[in-house]
Amino acid sequence: MEKIWLQSYEAGVAHEIDLSLYQSLNDVFAQSAQKFASKPAFQNMGKVLTYAQTDKLATDFASYLQNVLKLPRGERVAIMMPNLLQYPVALFGILKAGLVVVNTNPLYTPRELAHQLKDSGATTIIVLENFANTLELVLPRTDIKNVIVASVGEMFGLLKGSLINFVLRKVKKMVPEYRIPNTVTFQTALKQGAAHSFRPVAVTREDTAFLQYTGGTTGVAKGAVLSHGNICANMLQAREWIKNQLQEGSETVIAALPLYHVFALTVNLMIFSGVGSKIVLITNPRDMKAFIGDMKKERISVFIGVNTLFNGLINRPEFAEVDFSNLKLTLGGGMATQRAVAEKWKNITGTPIVEAYGLTEASPGVCANPLNIPAYTGSIGLPVCSTEVQLRDADGKEVPQGQPGEMWVRGPQVMQGYWNRPEETAKAIDQDGWLETGDIAVMDEKGWFKLVDRKKDLIVVSGFNVYPNEIEEVIAHNDKVLEVACIGVPSEKTGEALKVFVVRKDPSLTAEELIAFCRRELTGYKVPRDIEFRDELPKSNVGKILRRELRQPAAE
């Protein structure tokens, strides 16, 4: 298919990026630390770290990993925490030391956490104390040797920090008891690191930066190997895309999405730190009152979100009291933005939601609407610079313009493969470097793409991918369940929600009992909201349960 979309690029946006500009992510942040040294880099609960301060702390942490723990180049280090100041310090420190970041959802159940830590081979983890009890339960099943425990208050100074930690530990009881021997605090790690001289590590574009875990159709989470070059490419692609509307060193960005998620990781953290923005870290966006209170204190110029977050905010009366006079860009991704939500957002903020499309395996950015659009388009826009998109039919042949086909993507942001899974990698990336997305799209006469369907089994709950095989496997372990099937159904609150169909082995099984069982085994967004009991499930002639027949009634 001819790249007709190139003629729709915004004036001044280059079709190709120069990949030679950076050797690694370390180069990118080092340049930011020098160029924007005194400017605010990260802000959380009123505490600000400048670019120079962040770089110094990251170097101290890298020194600790290098000189005290003596971690060899390429070792995997997990980060298990929400959006706090320790997160960017730890992340850039890990990368500086030539190590690999394994982003870990702090809300994982023990089963999920054990799989990711064991699969990645991580030997060190930085964990917020609020979640250390979960880590304690799985440590014997992992290769973890070093545990660094962070606390919410430790970056705020002795007086304020001690008060915050006292309230969280003793008043709100938000830190469950745990017993893990030989842990060190994050602050101790920084102090010990500062006492040694850090030796710079030569890192190249080919070196692995992240093992970013994503669900799989087999139900087993796989680590997408994202190199320094992959993330640098996506940063450069985004920088080219936004340069006409945004200015280096002058933007204030709200980071409410969790940085351990690839969308926020690349867009909120990497891209905007690369252009010297002030990034306001929101630790708990579910506390809408406090979240909006933080927003009222800022002259926000960039907001990154997903449909559920937009919807939650616009339905709070106090959201309209925020000063949006400086808002230049609202970027939506992770899940489809509903038109009604987009229209109400623009009515309140005066700025349209610009939708983008990506996937973990592409670091994640693939397509985006131009930033100068006047209103919500309902499409995912155009492929970003240096990115090719093909729409193919079931036989692998390109479909004519205007016809739906599966999206295949090729570009410098496409992952190196799945960690220790060569067969899965071969299924995902063909010999010519094209990545199969599994998403169905159509291209119009201008070259703009619109999603018309997703992988038939993929369910997106509040921007997070959920694969039904994993849910079914967990529920099948319940002794009272004979058969189970999981589908996604529309939800005003989360975009999609999980519905499970169950054939009972024991007639005493109730929906409440099964949901409680799921809560013990699955992260919150993976817990089904609707259980329907049936006498039998539809099957093919070889006995395969047919989810498509279960979906049909929900679509009517």
Q: Which residues neighbour 503 within 8 Å (Cβ) at sequence distance 6 or greater? A: 481, 482, 483, 484, 533, 534, 535, 536, 537
Domains and CATH numbers, the chain: 49-203 (3.40.50.980), 387-410+419-453 (2.30.38.10), 459-555 (3.30.300.30)
Rounded to whole angstroms, the Cα distance separating 109 from 79 reads 15
Q: Which residues neighbour 461 within 8 Å (Cβ) at sequence distance 6 or greater? A: 488, 491, 494, 495, 496, 497, 498, 525, 526
Rounded to whole angstroms, the Cα distance separating 90 from 131 reads 17
Rounded to whole angstroms, the Cα distance separating 262 from 275 reads 19
Please tell me the least confidently modeled range out of 115-119, 305-309, 348-352: 305-309
Residue 349 is inside which H or E element, if any? helix 339-349
Per DSSP (E only), the strands in 81-221 are 100-103, 124-128, 146-150, 184-185, 208-214
**Residues 505-528: what's their mean pLDDT?**
95
For residue 468, pLDDT over 60 is answered with yes
Per DSSP (E only), the strands in 386-524 are 388-392, 405-410, 417-418, 435-443, 449-453, 459-461, 464-466, 481-491, 495-504
Rounded to whole angstroms, the Cα distance separating 101 from 119 reads 14
Burial status of residue 141 (CB atoms within 10 A of its CB: 0-12, 13-18, 19 or more):
middle
Q: Strands across the sheet with 365-368, in order?
A: 47-50, 40-44, 278-281, 252-255, 302-305, 329-332, 353-358, 365-368, 382-383
For residue 35, pLDDT over 80 is answered with yes
Burial status of residue 2 (CB atoms within 10 A of its CB: 0-12, 13-18, 19 or more):
exposed
- Is the Cα dihedral 540, 545, 547, 550 positive or negative? positive
> Collapsing DSSP states into helix, strand and coil, what is residue 140?
helix
**Residues 220-227: what's their mean pLDDT?**
93
For residue 349, pLDDT over 90 is answered with yes
How does 159-174 read in b/e, with b if 16+ C-beta sit within 10 Å? eebeebbeebbeeeee
pLDDT tens figures, 317-334: 999 999 999 999 999 988
Please tell me the least confidently modeled range out of 175-184, 335-344, 432-441, 531-540: 335-344
Percent of the chain with pLDDT over 90: 81
The overall average pLDDT reported for the chain is 93
For residue 225, pLDDT over 90 is answered with yes
**Residues 236-265: what's their mean pLDDT?**
95
pLDDT tens figures, 434-446: 999 988 889 999 9
